[in-house]
Amino acid sequence: MKSVINLMESDLKLKRLSDDTRKEYLRCAKEFVAFFDQPPQELYENDVRKYLHNLVEVRKASTSNHKMHLAAIKFLYSTLGCPWITANIPWPKVTSRLPEVLSFEEIHGLLEAASTPLYRNAFMVSYGAGLRVSETMRVAAGDIDSKRGVIVVRNGKGDKDRLTVLSPRLLDSLRNYWGKSRPRSAQPWLFPGKTKDGHISRESLQAEIRKARSRAGMRKPVRYHSLRHSFATHLLESGVDIRVIQALLGHRSLSATARYTQVRTDHIAQVTSPLELLHERFGGA
């Protein structure tokens, strides 16, 4: 089994997938093999279907988790040279959900509720520049280009670099944090932690956003990605061109950015409900 996983890991590197994606694929592949306690070469299409049914019906996996497992298993059998084993297994239908957007007041509440300057500044970077949690984790001091007023995002999703906005207020906060609160062992990372590479972990940031939500007394669901969703929606509502937002977010397709038009409240709030028109015509309650 170890040799199969090593071979799969080698192929994942050749495909040049991100570290996070490689880890998820390997985790899912190991869970699949452990479920049967047999070499994957001895398993067939019906076995894969049995595993996925268990994943969905017994373990109640989300659609995204289901999709990740299937992608990993398909990659595993491609590595083993028998992709036909999974060729007829359908992909799950992915439900399209509206982005979770926070108001300015809610963003302020989260920033105020952050337990340390490190977490507060990490939240500010994610919201102020539209960074994913995986990108915020790996921001280095040298990525803050104060002269040009930009943050360089390196190895973002799809292994792409991009530039995003660096606001003066964020720059002031980062300078204060860098000079007073940053651990001296932090270089080169802006937000150090206990990961192998020395930067903060995804789990730490996600756990802190949940704690900050609770401390701020917020009832609505909040995920770390809500900061990035809010960045895009607030820019759109302030009149920034959608193609500029696309570039700042690093979206390959404009359609990925266009979904924020569905949650911008400035236009929706201006629409007159037909209930108001009904009242104007007939009066009453």
- Active-site residue 251, yes or no? yes
Q: Does residue 246 contact residue 160 with C-beta atoms inside 8 Å?
A: no
Distance CA 2, CA 227 (A): 39
- Active-site residue 148, yes or no? no
**Which stretch of 84-88, 154-158, 230-234 has the lowest confidence by average pLDDT?**
154-158
Is the full-model pTM beyond 0.85?
A: no
Q: CA–CA distance from 249 to each of 45, 169, 281 (Å)? A: 39, 20, 46
| 69, 74, 132, 234: the active-site residue | 132
The torsion angles phi and psi of 150, rounded to 5 degrees, stand at -135, 160
| 213, 228, 229, 234: the active-site residue | 228
| 30, 211, 223, 225: the active-site residue | 225
Q: CA–CA distance from 131 to each of 117, 135, 143, 172 (Å)? A: 18, 6, 13, 18
Q: List, for residues 183-215, the tens digit of each pLDDT value.
A: 666 568 999 998 888 899 999 999 999 999 999
The pLDDT value recorded for residue 5 is 87
What's the average model confidence in pLDDT over 54-61? 93
Q: Does residue 197 contact residue 154 with C-beta atoms inside 8 Å?
A: no
Distance CA 6, CA 248 (A): 36
Provide, rounded to the nearest whole percent, the portion of the chain with pLDDT above 90: 59
The pLDDT value recorded for residue 153 is 93
The pLDDT value recorded for residue 275 is 61
Give the architecture (CATH level 2) of 104-267: Orthogonal Bundle (1.10)
pLDDT bracket for residue 1 (50, 70, 90)? low
Residue 209: exposure state from Cβ atoms within 10 A (0-12, 13-18, ≥19): buried
Q: Which two tokens stand for residue 204?
A: 């730490």
Instruction: Answer yes or no: is pLDDT of 45 > 80.
Output: yes
Q: What is the mean pLDDT of the chain?
A: 88
Instruction: Answer yes or no: is pLDDT of 221 > 80.
Output: yes
Q: List, for residues 94-139, the tens digit of each pLDDT value.
A: 777 777 889 999 999 999 999 999 999 999 999 999 999 999 999 9
CATH class as words, domain 2-87: mainly alpha
Distance CA 202, CA 195 (A): 9
The pLDDT value recorded for residue 230 is 92
| 157, 211, 223, 264: the active-site residue | 157
> Is 150 strand, coil or helix?
strand
- Active-site residue 22, yes or no? no
* Domain ranges within the chain, ordered by starting residue: 2-87, 104-267
The pLDDT value recorded for residue 278 is 61
- Spatial neighbors of 118 by CB under 8 A, at least 6 apart, are 177, 181, 182, 191, 192, 200
For residue 152, the cross-strand partners are 163
pLDDT bracket for residue 237 (50, 70, 90)? confident
What's the average model confidence in pLDDT over 30-35? 93
Q: List, for residues 258-285, the tens digit of each pLDDT value.
A: 878 777 776 666 666 666 676 677 776 5
- Active-site residue 234, yes or no? no
The pLDDT value recorded for residue 136 is 96
Q: List, for residues 132-162, the tens digit of each pLDDT value.
A: 999 999 999 899 999 999 999 987 776 788 8
Distance CA 40, CA 30 (A): 10
The pLDDT value recorded for residue 122 is 96
Instruction: Answer yes or no: is pLDDT of 248 > 80.
Output: yes
Distance CA 137, CA 204 (A): 10
Residue 194: exposure state from Cβ atoms within 10 A (0-12, 13-18, ≥19): exposed
